[in-house]
Amino acid sequence: MKINLQLFLMFAFLSSNFSYAQNAKTNDSWTKKIAESFIERTPNYIVYDENPTKQKWNYEQGLMLNAIRQMYYHTKDKKYYEYIKRNLDQNVQPDGSITTYKVDEYNIDQIGPGRALLFVYQKTKEERYRKAADLLRHQLSTHPRTKSNGFWHKQIYPWQMWLDGLYMGAPFYSEYSKMFNSSKDFDDIIHQFELIYSKTKNVKNGLLHHAWDESKEQKWADKETGVSLHFWGRSVGWYMMALVDVLDFIPKDHPKRKLILNQLKELSDAVLKHRDSKSKVWYQILDLPDRTPNYLEASASAMFVYSFVKGVNKGYLNKKFLKAAKESWDGIIREFVVVDEKGLINLTKICSVAGLGGNPYRDGSFEYYMSEKLRTNDFKGYGPFLLAAIELEKAKIKH
At residue 22, the pLDDT reads 37
**pLDDT tens readout for residues 35-77:** 999 999 998 888 766 555 567 899 999 999 999 999 999 999 9
State how far the Cα of 212 lies from the Cα of 146, in Å rounded to an integer. 11
**pLDDT tens readout for residues 206-226:** 999 999 999 999 999 999 999
Is residue 104 part of the annotated active site? The answer reads no
At residue 250, the pLDDT reads 97
User: Treating both helix axes as pointing N-terminal to C-terminal, what angle do 163-179 and 185-200 enclose, rounded to 10 degrees?
Assistant: 170
At residue 49, the pLDDT reads 60
The answer to whether 27 and 393 are in contact (CB under 8 A) is: yes
What's the Rg (C-alpha) of the chain? 20
**Lowest-pLDDT range of 8-17, 57-66, 103-112, 211-220:** 8-17
Annotated active-site residue in 77, 109, 134, 164: 164
Phi-psi region of 372 (alpha: psi -120 to 50; beta: other; left: phi over 0): beta
At residue 341, the pLDDT reads 93
Which has more confidence, 4 or 134? 134
Class of domain 2-41+144-398: mainly alpha
In three-state secondary structure terms, 48 is coil
**Lowest-pLDDT range of 18-32, 97-111, 192-206, 320-334:** 18-32
- pLDDT grade, residue 353 (50/70/90)? very high
- pLDDT grade, residue 18 (50/70/90)? very low
**pLDDT tens readout for residues 185-200:** 999 999 999 999 999 9
**Class of residue 112 by CB neighbours under 10 A (exposed 0-12, middle 13-18, buried 19+):** buried
At residue 313, the pLDDT reads 98
Percent of the chain with pLDDT over 70: 91
Region 359-380 average pLDDT = 97
pTM beyond 0.75: the answer is yes
Report the chain's mean pLDDT, rounded to a whole number. 92
**φ, ψ of residue 219 in degrees (nearest 5):** -60, -30
Cα–Cα–Cα angle for 69, 74, 80, rounded to 5 degrees: 40
